[in-house]
Structure 1
C-alpha cells in the first residue's frame, strides 16, 4: 500500500459534537496546536490525554495524515488502513505477531487438493454495525462492486487470482456469474482461483477485499459512484470491532466499540481517537507531553536520543516496505531509460540512510525487500556517478547540457523534504542538472500522481501481504498503482501467467527475478531505501505487537494505567 502522512488535529471536544459537515477546517499551526492539546484536552483539570484515556479506555493515536477515504474499495494509503481495519473486517485476520491467517468473519475454511477452490464457513452471529445480518451474499455483491471499472479501484488487480475476475474487470466478459465467487448458502462462500495462490488467505485481510454494506451504499448513490456520503459520520456501516462516531476533517476521526461485533465481549478498548498530524516534531512533542499513546513518526534527530537512554517507548522493527521515486515516463527528458538509470546511479543511498534517516533503514537497490519469502533479487544498480554521466551524455545531455529543469513532487513532510533536498544536490553535483522541489498536501499529491500530473514523484510501498508478488504486480500495464505509464507486456506475462503457473516455490522466485531485472533495467522507479518501522508507544498500551507489516490489532489492545501515563521523559 502506498505510504505517507499530511495534516493536523485539534483538541478533542468535551461537550456534544455537531453533526459532520464536509467543509475543510483551517488547520492550526503546530505550536498553537500543541498548546491547545496540552491545555484543553481534559475540559477540567490538568490531566493529559494518556492519563484520562487509560481510565476511560480511550486510545489516542497519532495517525500521520487526514484519510483520503474510508471506502475500502477506494483507499490506498497506510493512514487510511489504520482506521479501516478498526471499522471493518475480512473473512480472515492475521495473527498480530506471526501474520499467520486466523479466523475472521469466517470461522474456518477448506482448500481443495489442487489448491484452487476455497470454501469459507461464515459466522452465523456475524452482524453489521447497525445490527443487520452479515452473510456470504455480502461478499459476492461487494466484490462485484470492487470490480466495477467506474469505481476506479486502484487495487482491482488484487482480485485477479480469482477465476475470471481480470476478464470481468477488463470487459472481456460481462456476466459476473462467471467470476469465481459464489454464495452456496447464507453462510458458505466458495472462491475459485485461476491457479494455486500461496498468498490468497493473506489477501483476504487486506481492506480492498473487505465487504461493504449494500443498503448503505445504495442509499447514498450508485454502487460504482465515488465520493458519496456513505462513509461520513453518522452514515458508515461496517462489520469491524469499532464503529465510526465522529469525523472532523483535519482534526480527528473517532471510533467507538461496536456492540454488534461477533467478538464484542473480548474488545477492551472503548474508543480510539485518530489524529491527523503531519509534522513529525509536533507529534513527538505531543507524545512526550502525554497527549498521545502512539506515534508512527519519530524525527530522525530524536531516534539517537531515545536509543541512548534505552527508552522503552521507542519501537524499531523490520518493516516490509520500500521508499522509492516514481518517474513519469511520458515526460520527454525522462523517456530514455539511460536518463532514468543515470538518475538512479547518482543517489548515495548510504549517505541518506546514515545521515538523514538514522533509524536503521537499509539502502535499496531493488523494489522488493530482500528476504521476502526467501526471495533475494539480484541488482546491478549501484552508486556510480562516472558511469551515470556517460549514460546521460549518451542520451544527448553531456554534462547535463540541455537537460530541462525537472521537478520532484513529494507529499508534505519534513522527512520527505530532506530526502528530496539531498537528491536534488546529488543530481546537481554528479550530473549537473537542475531539479525543483514541489510539495503537496496528501490528497492533492495522490491526485497528481494518479493522473500522471508530475515528473518525478516520491513514493513508498508497504507490503499488503508477505510475498514478492505484492511489490512486482504494482507495475503491470495500466495497473492502478503503477502510476508511471511504463508498460511491458513481457513483464505482465511473467507476473500474471508464468509465476502463478510455476510448479515449485524456487521456480516461482526465479520468474520473479527475471521480471524484477526487467523493471530495474527500464527503471521507471528508483528504489532508495528499505523501511524500518519507528513507533513511539506509551507503556500503558498493552498487546501492541511489532510485526513486519506494522499492522496494529486494535481488537487485542488494551490500556493499563501506570507511572508512564505522562508519556516519555524529555
Structure 2
C-alpha cells in the first residue's frame, strides 16, 4: 500500500469550504457555564445517522457522532476516528486505522466493526435508508441493496478491531469527504437492535462517539447536548452544554436572538423581510456561501404534471429575479439549471457556467410558457385542473409559494392551491409521491457535481419526483439513459467523466422534473461572543472547538 492524499478532491473542497468562527480570544475561564443556544428551526425527523436525510438532523448528528474523517476549518478532510489511512496505487482500496483512545460515550472502544455494521445497515433493503445510494461507490453495495448480493459481498470489512478495509468500484476523488458524512458514521449493533427505529432519540440506550451526547430529547421543543466524557479529544471541548431550540416561526426566533435568548440563527432561520434592516444595523448578521438549490419538484407520475409540456410551462412562467430580489432578499442567485455555481469539472471550469442555462431565463418567458401550456392542451389555461403546491411550514416558503401562485395566475391564467405541512409529515408526503408539486431544496453532501446529479437515479432514495424507469420503463426511458450515464461516470475520470455529467444534467433539464428557483446563500446570525464555531459551504455546523467568550 502507498499512503497518499487525494489532492484534487481536497483542493476543491478547501476552495469551497468556509470557516466562520473567527480568531479565538482568550477564554474568560469557567466562572460561568459555557452554554450555546442554537435554533434548529424544527424538530428533526430523526437523528439516526443512517436514516437521516435532512440538514437539521445532520447538525445534531455532526456534533454527537464522528466519522473516520472530519472536515477541518480549512475545508479539508482530516483524520478523526481514524488516525491514519492508506490508499492503493489504483485509488480503489482504502485502509483506515482506528485511533487508540476512540471510545463510545459509555466507555466501550470504537471498533472497525462498528463502521462495517453501520455501512451495511445503510445498505440493508429492510432498513430502506434514503441515502443508501451514497455508499454505492463501494464494490457490491448497490447489488446488496437491490437484492442481487448479500451483505458479505459488500467490500467493506474489519480486518481487526483497529483496521477497516474498503474497496471501491472505481477511483473516487471525493471518497474521503464522503466518510465525513453522517450516513458513513458508526453505530453500535448491540444498541441499534434494542430499538431499531428509535434508539437514537432514546437517551436511556443511545450512545455516540462524537464530542457531545444527547442528554435530553423533548419532541417539538428542544434537544440538549452535553460533552461526551469519553471522547478521544475531550480536553479540547470547551462548551458545557448545547441547547438546540426548535422555534419554527422565524420572526419569533429573531426576537429571541435579539433578546439574547439565542446565540445563533442558522441558515434559513432569519426572516426574509428583516434581512435589509439587519444588513444595515446588525454586525452579527452575515450572508455565507451555501452550496445548494431551492426548487419545486414535479411528480412526473401524476396528472397533469406527468406531461413535460405542463412542467415546462410552469417553469418558464416564473420570474426568478423577482423572487430573489423581492421575496427571498438574501443575495440568492436565480437558478437556470439544477447544479449550482461553485462546483468544478476536471479542468477547473465552473460546472454551472460551462453547462449553461438550458434556455431558462431569470425573468419569466411568458410567450414560451403559453406555447407549452397550449401544447399540453390547455390554451390560455382553459380546462387546466386545480393543482396543490405543498410546502413545509415556514414564513419564507409561504412567501415564495404565494409569489409563484400569483405568477402562474397572471402569466398563464391558472389557479393553484397552497398547502403547508409540518416538517416531518411533509418529508413523508414528498417521499411517497403524495403530491403534484412540492417545495424542495438540495444541499450538497460533498464538493462535486455528482452530489446533485446522482439524486435522480432510479435507485436514489431521494428521487421524490418518482422519475424511475424501474416502475415504468416505457414512460421513463430517459431515466434509464440517465442511470447509465451516472453509472459510467463512476468508473471514468477526467474530461470523459465531465462529458457524462454534463450530458446527464441536460437530460434532467430536458425532462424538467424540477423547477429550479434559486441557488442558496446562508443568511445567518451569530453573537459576537461565540468563538471557534465552524460552518462549511454545505451548511454543516460543528461546535467541538467552540466556546463562549463574554
- TM-score for both structures, normalised by structure 1: 0.86
RMSD of equivalent CA atoms = 1.6
Structure-to-structure mapping, 1:179-198, within 5 angstroms: 179-198=154-173
Distance 1:105 1:298 in 2: 34
- In the alignment, is the contact (CA less than 8 A) between 1:65 and 1:277 conserved in 2? yes
Question: Which one of 492, 517, 526 corresponds to residue 483 of structure 2?
Answer: 492
Distance 1:305 1:235 in 2: 46
User: What is the deviation of 1:53?
Assistant: 11
Distance 2:241 2:466 in 1: 43
Distance 1:127 1:546 in 2: 25
User: What is the deviation of 1:229?
Assistant: 3.9
2:389 partner SS: strand
CA deviations over 1:15-60 (Å, ceiling 9, x no partner): xxxxxxxxxxxxxxxxxxxxxxxxxxxxxxxxxxxx9999211100
User: What is the deviation of 1:177?
Assistant: 2.2
2:104 matched to which residue of 1?
128
- In the alignment, is the contact (CA less than 8 A) between 2:117 and 2:188 conserved in 1? no
Distance 2:31 2:309 in 1: 57
Distance 1:381 1:513 in 2: 16
Structure-to-structure mapping, 1:106-185, within 5 angstroms: 106-174=82-150, 176-185=151-160
Distance 1:142 1:502 in 2: 28
| Structure 1 position 202 matched with structure 2 position 177 | yes
CA deviations over 1:474-510 (Å, ceiling 9, x no partner): 001142101111131110111122x122231x33222
Distance 2:376 2:317 in 1: 16
Distance 1:312 1:122 in 2: 42
Question: Which one of 403, 407, 419 corresponds to residue 426 of structure 1?
Answer: 407
2:12 matched to which residue of 1?
none
- In the alignment, is the contact (CA less than 8 A) between 1:53 and 1:60 conserved in 2? no
- In the alignment, is the contact (CA less than 8 A) between 1:61 and 1:292 conserved in 2? yes
| Structure 1 position 67 matched with structure 2 position 75 | no
Distance 2:78 2:102 in 1: 16
1:48 matched to which residue of 2?
none
Judged with a 3 Å threshold, the aligned counterparts in structure 2 of structure 1 residues 262 and 448 are, in CA distance, closer, same or farther, namely: same
User: What is the deviation of 1:344?
Assistant: 0.6
1:365 matched to which residue of 2?
336
- In the alignment, is the contact (CA less than 8 A) between 2:59 and 2:542 conserved in 1? no
Distance 1:99 1:357 in 2: 28
1:566 matched to which residue of 2?
none
- In the alignment, is the contact (CA less than 8 A) between 1:328 and 1:334 conserved in 2? yes
CA deviations over 1:245-292 (Å, ceiling 9, x no partner): 001111110010001001111111111000011111011110000001
- In the alignment, is the contact (CA less than 8 A) between 1:117 and 1:193 conserved in 2? yes
Structure-to-structure mapping, 1:374-413, within 5 angstroms: 374-376=350-352, 377-378=355-356, 379-382=358-361, 383-413=364-394
- In the alignment, is the contact (CA less than 8 A) between 1:91 and 1:103 conserved in 2? yes
Structure-to-structure mapping, 1:311-390, within 5 angstroms: 311-373=282-344, 374-376=350-352, 377-378=355-356, 379-382=358-361, 383-390=364-371
Instruction: Report how many aligned residue pairs link the two structures.
Output: 501
- TM-score for both structures, normalised by structure 2: 0.89
Judged with a 3 Å threshold, the aligned counterparts in structure 2 of structure 1 residues 179 and 546 are, in CA distance, closer, same or farther, namely: closer
| Structure 1 position 465 matched with structure 2 position 446 | yes
User: What is the deviation of 1:69?
Assistant: 0.8
2:272 matched to which residue of 1?
300
Distance 1:466 1:246 in 2: 34
1:95 matched to which residue of 2?
72
1:56 matched to which residue of 2?
33
User: What is the deviation of 1:201?
Assistant: 0.8
Gaps of 5+ in 1: 1-50, 562-570
Question: Which one of 541, 544, 558 corresponds to residue 530 of structure 2?
Answer: 541
- In the alignment, is the contact (CA less than 8 A) between 1:331 and 1:455 conserved in 2? yes
CA deviations over 1:347-406 (Å, ceiling 9, x no partner): 100000000111100000111112312322222222311011011101111111111000
User: What is the deviation of 1:167?
Assistant: 0.5
Structure-to-structure mapping, 1:284-295, within 5 angstroms: 284-295=254-265
1:445 matched to which residue of 2?
426
CA deviations over 1:143-186 (Å, ceiling 9, x no partner): 12111112120000000000110001101112x22211011111
Structure-to-structure mapping, 1:205-284, within 5 angstroms: 205-220=180-195, 225=196, 227-284=197-254
- In the alignment, is the contact (CA less than 8 A) between 2:330 and 2:521 conserved in 1? yes
Question: Which one of 493, 499, 502 corresponds to residue 503 of structure 1?
Answer: 493
- In the alignment, is the contact (CA less than 8 A) between 1:234 and 1:245 conserved in 2? no
- In the alignment, is the contact (CA less than 8 A) between 2:292 and 2:520 conserved in 1? yes
2:475 matched to which residue of 1?
none
User: What is the deviation of 1:346?
Assistant: 0.7
User: What is the deviation of 1:546?
Assistant: 4.7
Distance 2:143 2:125 in 1: 12
